[in-house]
C-alpha cells in the first residue's frame, strides 16, 4: 500500500523558504550525524551510508542556498511543492 501526503504546497518568500527548507535539511543532516556517531560508539566503525547521505545533503543545501539567494536578489517568491510518498517495505 502506498500513501502520498502533501508536505509543502505554497508560495514562500526567500526568507521563509530558507527557514523551512534549510530546517528540514539540517534536521536530516543531524539525524545522520547521530546515526554515524552511534555506529562509531557501538561498533567502532563509521556508518558509511550515513556519511554519504551527509555529503549528499550538504551538496543539496549548497544548491538550495544558491536558489534562495537568487530569489532574494530578484525579490521574488518561490513556489514550493513537496509530497511524501510512503509505502510499506517488507
One digit per residue, the tens of pLDDT, for the chain of length 90 reads 899 999 999 999 999 999 999 999 999 999 999 999 999 999 999 999 999 999 999 999 999 999 999 999 999 999 999 999 999 988
Q: Give me the helix-helix angle, 14-43 and 48-74, nearest 10°.
A: 170
Is residue 78 assigned to a domain?
yes
Is residue 35 assigned to a domain?
yes
| Nine cell digits for residue 58 | 550538504
What is the domain count for the chain? 1
Angle at 85 between CA 80 and CA 86, to 5 degrees: 145
Residue identified by cell 509543502 is: 8
Distance CA 23, CA 28 (A): 9
Segments forming the whole domain that contains residue 66 = 2-84
Asked if residues 84 and 4 have their Cβ atoms less than 8 Å apart, the reply is: yes
Q: How far is CA 88 from the centre of its chain?
A: 22
> Could you tell me the pTM of the whole model?
0.88
Amino acid at each position: 500500500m502506498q500513501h502520498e501526503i502533501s508536505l509543502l504546497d505554497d508560495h514562500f518568500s526567500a526568507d521563509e523558504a530558507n527557514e523551512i527548507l534549510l530546517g528540514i535539511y539540517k534536521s536530516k543532516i543531524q539525524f545522520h550525524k547521530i546515526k554515524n556517531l552511534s555506529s562509531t560508539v557501538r561498533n567502532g566503525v563509521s556508518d558509511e551510508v550515513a556519511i554519504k547521505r551527509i555529503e549528499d545533503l550538504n551538496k543539496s543545501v549548497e544548491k538550495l542556498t544558491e536558489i534562495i539567494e537568487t530569489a532574494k536578489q530578484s525579490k521574488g517568491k518561490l513556489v514550493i511543492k513537496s509530497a511524501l510518498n510512503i509505502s510499506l517495505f517488507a
